[in-house]
Amino acid sequence: MTASPGRSPVQPGQWRPSGQSGCSRSAPSIRQSSAFLGHCFRRTDQWRRLGDMRATARSSCSDETGFTLVELMVVLAIVAILVMVAMPAYRGPLADAERVGAGACLVSLATEMQLYRLRQGGFEGFRPDEADLDCRRQLAGQYRFEVGVVGKADWGRASTDSPHWQLRAVRRSDTGSTGSGRCRILVYRFDGGRAASGGNSDSPDGSDLATRCWG
């Protein structure tokens, strides 16, 4: 076959698209086409398996999260039950310790009252609930401190000029042990006498209740 001017000769196994000149491309063989299709099928199969793996992972994560939430709810329920059981046993000793601290604070307030008399020339105007004492500030949330006169039922925030004063600490809440409820009020008198009560009336000095509450 004679090549025309300006054109390359057509070799066997080559083909030339109609209407195009100067360009030639080898026609894909059957083996190449089969290899290409096989590669496409393998890639498709790999993507399908990858999708199955992702779906399985999502399903596993979903199941695991639900199971963990159930476990968390069970643990929280157990902790709540334990707290409810343990709180009374904890609050009882705490209330007893606060009561002992309130009794010691009454003695300190009595000392402050005597110092106040020396500075002011009398007892009138002393306010135990505003005394500059650490114990009073620490117990302000649990006890209020009041002053009165022995033999009188009136209690107030400020003292009179009577030398027969008495101080008392009143628990703001009855929570705690049964003993702290009976010892809700502690009283300290000018002569060192001590009394206690559950709120109705002061017990006589030296009674078993006063000894137990001040002990």
CATH number of 89-214: 3.30.540
Region of poorest pLDDT, from 156-160, 165-169, 175-179: 175-179
150 has a pLDDT exceeding 80 = yes
> Which of 144, 103, 141 lies closest to 127, judged by CA?
144
204 has a pLDDT exceeding 90 = no
Q: What is the pTM of this model?
A: 0.59
- DSSP secondary structure, 110-159, as one string: HHHHHHHHHHHSSSTT--GGG---HHHHHTTTTEEEEEEETT---EESS-
Mean pLDDT of the chain: 77
Inter-CA distances, 14 with 22, 23, 34, 108, Å: 13, 11, 20, 117
Token pair listed for 132:
């500059």
**Domains of the chain: which residue ranges?**
89-214
Helix (H) or strand (E) holding 165: strand 165-171
Q: Please state, in angstroms and rounded to a whole number, the distance separating the CA atoms of residues 118 and 69.
A: 68
As a whole-number percent, the residues of the chain with pLDDT over 90 amount to: 41
